[in-house]
Amino acid sequence: MRDAAQLEAIAEDLAEQIKSDYNADEALQAYDDYSREHELPSSDDQSRPPAKRFEFVQIGEMVAQLRPINWLIRDYVEQDAVINLYGAPGGGKTQVATSLACCVASGSAWFGKQTQSGAVFYLAGEGHNGLARRFTACSQELGVSLENAPLYVSRTSAALTDPLATAQVTQAVEDLANVSSETPALIVIDTLARNFGAADENSTSDMNRFIAHIDALRRRWGCTVLIVHHSGKDGSRGARGSTVLRGAVDAEFEVSRDDAGLVRLKCHKMKDAEMPEPLAFTIEGVKLPIVDDDGEPVFGPVLRAAEYTESTRKRSLSQDEQIALKHLTEDWKPFVVWRDDWFFDAAEVVSLKGKNKGQKRQKDYLRTAFKRTLNSLVEKGLIEQNRINDDTGGNVRLARDSEE
> Quick one: 86 and 153 in the same domain?
yes
> Quick one: 136 and 192 in the same domain?
yes
Q: Which burial class, exposed, middle or buried, applies to 370 when counting CB atoms under 10 A from its CB (0-12, 13-18, 19+)? A: buried
Q: Which domain holds residue 364?
A: 319-402
> Quick one: 253 and 297 in the same domain?
yes
> Quick one: 358 and 296 in the same domain?
no
What pLDDT was estimated at residue 133? Answer: 95
160/116 Cα distance (integer angstroms)? 26
The domain that contains 382 carries what CATH number? Answer: 1.10.10
Residue pLDDT, tens place only, 4-31: 555 555 555 655 555 444 444 454 455 5
Residue 125 forms part of a structural domain: yes
Residue 48 forms part of a structural domain: yes
> Quick one: 142 and 218 in the same domain?
yes
340/109 Cα distance (integer angstroms)? 43
Residue 14 forms part of a structural domain: yes
Residue pLDDT, tens place only, 332-358: 444 444 445 445 444 444 444 443 444
Residue 311 forms part of a structural domain: no
> Quick one: 289 and 174 in the same domain?
yes
Q: Which of 44, 63, 82 is the last residue of a domain?
A: 63
Residue 362 forms part of a structural domain: yes
Residue 55 forms part of a structural domain: yes
End-to-end CA distance of the chain: 62
> Quick one: 103 and 232 in the same domain?
yes
> Quick one: 206 and 339 in the same domain?
no
Q: Which burial class, exposed, middle or buried, applies to 164 when counting CB atoms under 10 A from its CB (0-12, 13-18, 19+)? A: middle
The domain that contains 152 carries what CATH number? Answer: 3.40.50.300
Print the SS3 string covering the chain: CCCHHHHHHHHHHHHHHCCCCCCHHHHHHHHHHHHHHHCCCCCCCCCCCCCCCCCCCCHHHHHCCCCCCCEEECCCEECCCEEEEEECCCCCHHHHHHHHHHHHHHCCCECCECECCCEEEEEECCCHHHHHHHHHHHHHHHCCCCCCCCEEECCCCCCCCCHHHHHHHHHHHHHHHHHHCCCEEEEEEECCHHHCCCCCCCCHHHHHHHHHHHHHHHHHHCCEEEEEEEECCCHHHCECCCCHHHHHCCEEEEEEECCCCCEEEEEEEECCCCCCCCEEEEEEEEEEEEECCCCCEEEEEEEEEECCCCCCCCCCCCHHHHHHHHHHHHHHCCCCEEHHHHHHHHHHHHHCCCCCCCCCCCHHHHHHHHHHHHHHHHHCCCEEECCCCCCCCCEEEECHHHCC
Number of domains in the chain: 3
What pLDDT was estimated at residue 365? Answer: 62
Does the structure show a pLDDT above 50 at 129? yes
> Quick one: 128 and 52 in the same domain?
no
Q: Which of 242, 274, 306 is the last residue of a domain?
A: 306
307/263 Cα distance (integer angstroms)? 10
* φ and ψ of 261, to 5 deg: 90, 5
> Quick one: 277 and 373 in the same domain?
no
Contact residues for 354 (Cβ-Cβ < 8 A; gap 6+): none
Total length of the chain = 404
User: What's the pLDDT band for 216 if we cut at 50, 70, 90?
Assistant: very high
* φ and ψ of 170, to 5 deg: -60, -45
> Quick one: 202 and 250 in the same domain?
yes
Most confident of 26-30, 201-205, 235-239: 201-205
Between CA 335 and CA 337, with CA 336 as vertex, the angle to 5 degrees is 100
Contact residues for 361 (Cβ-Cβ < 8 A; gap 6+): 348, 351, 352, 369
Q: Which burial class, exposed, middle or buried, applies to 356 when counting CB atoms under 10 A from its CB (0-12, 13-18, 19+)? A: exposed
Residue pLDDT, tens place only, 256-273: 999 889 999 999 999 999
Mean pLDDT on 93-113: 97
Confidence (pTM): 0.70
> Quick one: 118 and 213 in the same domain?
yes
- Taking the CA atoms of 332, 337, 342 and 344 in sequence, report the sign of the dihedral they define: negative
What is the overall mean pLDDT for the chain? 80
Residue 127 forms part of a structural domain: yes
Residues forming a β-bridge with 286? 300
Residue 111 forms part of a structural domain: yes
Does the structure show a pLDDT above 60 at 195? yes
Q: Which of 306, 336, 367 is the last residue of a domain?
A: 306
Is the distance from CB of 161 to CB of 199 less than 8 angstroms? yes
